Amino acid sequence: MMSYFFSQTTLNFFGLNQTHIFELNERTILIKKWNWDYDLCHLFQHHCLKLLEQMPSARIIICCSHPRVFTNGRGLQKPRKGEVLNLVEFDPTLATELPYPIHQIERGGGLTFHHPGQMIIYPILKLNPKTLSLSAMINTLFDVSIDVLNDWGIQDLSHSHKLLGLWSGDRKLASMGIAIEKLTTFHGMALNFHNDLEMKNAIQKVNPCGLNANTYISVEELMDLGGKTLEDFSSEYIKRLSHVWQ
């Protein structure tokens, strides 16, 4: 299946090579690259959307991180009837004060941040109302994170908070923003693994996802990693996700 999808010329264009491509099962290809340029990865997601038009039963899972960057989506989460969220909209006049670039993109959600200490999962796959709804896909991405971190000793994680995300009490560990084109998803989940002090300082100027910057926390702040790495976490995560999505 890999030869059908990706030529070396195509991979080179997006800053990839064959060492970044793995076949998880007969339906699923994994792309894994750390510190991947955001623009190249964004273009690659759109390339994958076109490929899945030819082979809609396939899945492409991107596992990556990005250099420090901000992205801004279509808008903050809307409250349900009778609900108050108290989210703060991003003030675009602040853009020139930020030390890293901002990309305006098509996913749901407001302003968020990326840095090399995150694990990002972009699932590019076809939704089906009978077999895989959007909510089921999102729940799976969070649930697999919880399963791995439970095994690592972090026990209080939940995604049942009124605000979309993966939460440890009132601290947010992972954010979710999805876009859909012709029933095919792209963009996805960003989980904070390492504590990035430079990014933490930068987000004090804004309200990521409409929230106070101090709401955000990392795996590194929740536990003693004891030598465990982002690579260790991502490998275990992908192993479990591929088992769920056979």
**In angstroms, rounded to a whole number, what is the distance separating the alpha carbons of residues 151 and 155?**
8
Geometric angle at alpha carbon 140, from 245 and 58, rounded to 5°: 30
Residue 57: DSSP 8-state: T
Is 64 known to be catalytic?
no
Q: Which residues pair with 184 in a beta bridge?
A: 126, 181
**In angstroms, rounded to a whole number, what is the distance separating the alpha carbons of residues 198 and 70?**
13
**In angstroms, rounded to a whole number, what is the distance separating the alpha carbons of residues 145 and 147?**
6
Torsion, Cα of 25, 237, 184, 181 (10° steps): -150
**Which ranges constitute the DSSP H helices of the chain?**
2-5, 8-13, 38-54, 134-151, 197-202, 219-222, 230-244
Residue 129: DSSP 8-state: T
Q: Which of 41, 48, 64, 209 is catalytic?
A: 209
**CB-CB contact of 135 with 73 (8 Å):** no
Structure tokens, 199? 């990014």
Helices then strands, each counted (H, E), the chain: 7, 11
Q: From residue 46, how far is each of 4, 184, 205 by CA, in Å?
A: 17, 11, 31
Residues labelled catalytic = 209
